[in-house]
Amino acid sequence: MSMSKPLAGYKVIEIGHSIAAPYTGFILAELGAEVIKVESPKGGDYARGWGPPFFDGAASHFVALNRDKSSVTVDLSDDAERARLRRLILDEADAVICNLRAGVADRHGIGAAELTAAKPTLVYCEIGAFGSGGPLSDAPGYDPLMQAYGGIMSLTGESAERPPLRVGVSIVDMGAGFWGAIGILARLLARGRDGRGGIVETSLFETALAWATVQIASVTIAPRVLKPMGSGASGIVPYQAFCATDGWIVIGGGNDGLFAKLATALGHDEWICDPRFRTNADRVVNREVLIPLIEAEMAGRSLCEARDLLDRHGVPNAPVQRVDQVIHDAQTRALGILQEAGPDALATVGLPLRFDGERPAYVRRAPRLGEHTREVFHTDAEPSGEAEMQPEHGAPR
């Protein structure tokens, strides 16, 4: 077994759509687990259609999050197909990932309580919208809704006077995917000791709250309304983007020593002893005084000049790059995280993990709808009907 594929030998059934459940499955697949993705025979995972652009008939969401998986189609309204899926889980699966609409899995006999009772070694991960319990436990949820309801959107943007902004990636959906994978791994580890599986639960709303951990603590300590800080941070100054002549550059003056280096780099050693700027707490209080002074110094410099100056003085900085620039960036290329798997597969981002220097390999492209149905179920029968597989969430980017 490759050290970069530590889950080789484990089998996971992914019953879900969109982003959160597929991202959980993606993580486990990249770590070596055999992940079998269950889709509706008519259309499959909704993410297949979230385009353009499309590659091999599927949108970028699907291509990026479903590589190294098998795809089978199951009509949950068909007794025989439903029974076939249940047998697959009970006979072969180590874990199940499920993010169907509340009640759907239970209604079809593939819910967490029923399956873990029938197979005590099974680890069953439920990814919901608002979590179990509470007045919204049965309500549907999508990434932007959770960024709004969980407070993230109130912290994102230029100012409170501007329209609210969503974080530009599906941070809540993908975050829930992280927690799903972590929960499954933890339960599998415990199973190695006690022989028992169990039910793992996470949700989009809980994930949104987890992302806001620091801000919630801040407001608990000092009750107030937090406002958007643009590219900056509420408790660190300077720690934001500044405009150069040909683009934007982020400066990370995260402590007093780094601020002193920045002051020296910009030719203002007097800032170091200025009582308004002496400590980070002073700089936070006097943010509206300090930031314009730094802006004035950066406005006349190009990105190249600014980076060279800051690098020479040991001040952390980074240009604000577009995605097309990041793809071709020398550091991105050197890390090998943008992986390829042959001429018929699109290069996509792998796991941000390496084991003894080896990144988990990209083995095969995202599957076509139902591509492995016959192979997995050992049957020549064609799938039929339309499955009732509605997601809890999964707003497209």
CATH number of this structure's domain 11-211+333-377: 3.40.50.10540
The count of C-alpha atoms lying within 13 angstroms of the C-alpha of 179, restricted to the half-sphere facing its C-beta, is: 23
Confidence of residue 101 (pLDDT cuts 50, 70, 90): confident
How many Å apart are CA 14 and CA 39, to the nearest integer? 9
* Domain residue ranges of the chain, discontinuous segments joined by +: 11-211+333-377, 255-315
pLDDT at 85 over 70: yes
Look at residue 24 in the predicted model and tell me its pLDDT: 98
What letters, b where the CB count within 10 A reaches 16 and e where it falls short, cover 145-172? bbbebbbbbbbbbeeeeeeeebeeebbb
Residue 238 near residue 290, CB atoms below 8 Å: yes
- Could you give the 3-state DSSP secondary structure of residue 304? helix
Tokens of 151: 């407070």
List of residues 6+ apart from 122 with CB closer than 8 A? 89, 90, 93, 94, 95, 96, 115, 116, 197
Tokens of 139: 């309500």
Q: Please tell me the predicted confidence (pLDDT) of residue 395.
A: 39
How much is the pLDDT for 114? Answer: 97
160 against 72, higher pLDDT: 72
Which runs of E-coded beta strand occur in the chain? 11-15, 34-39, 54-55, 58-59, 69-73, 95-98, 123-128, 198-203, 239-244, 247-252, 317-319, 338-339, 348-349
Q: What is the pLDDT of residue 387?
A: 40
Per-residue pLDDT tens digits for 371-397 = 999 999 987 644 444 444 444 444 333
Task: Supply the pLDDT for residue 232.
Answer: 94
- pLDDT for the residue numbered 76: 93
**Residues listed for the chain:** 397
Q: CA-CA distances (angstroms) from residue 284 to 156, 220, 289? A: 19, 19, 10
Q: Is the peptide bond before 53 cis (omega within 30 degrees of 0)?
A: yes
Specify the pLDDT at position 379.
77
Averaged pLDDT for residues 203-220: 97
pLDDT of amino acid 388: 46
Task: Inform me whether the pLDDT recorded for 133 exceeds 50.
Answer: yes
Segment 301-323 shows an average pLDDT of 97
| CA-wise closest residue to 26 among 368, 350, 395 | 350
Side-chain half-sphere CA neighbours of 295 within 13 A? 10
Q: Is the peptide bond before 52 cis (omega within 30 degrees of 0)?
A: yes
Confidence of residue 160 (pLDDT cuts 50, 70, 90): confident
In eight-state DSSP terms, residue 25 is: H
- Whole-number pLDDT of residue 22: 97
pLDDT tens track for 238-295: 999 999 999 999 999 999 999 999 999 999 999 999 999 999 999 999 999 999 999 9
pLDDT digits over 176-191, tens only?
Answer: 999 999 999 999 999 9
Mean pLDDT on 21-46 = 96
Residue found by looking up tokens 């890390």 in the block: 335
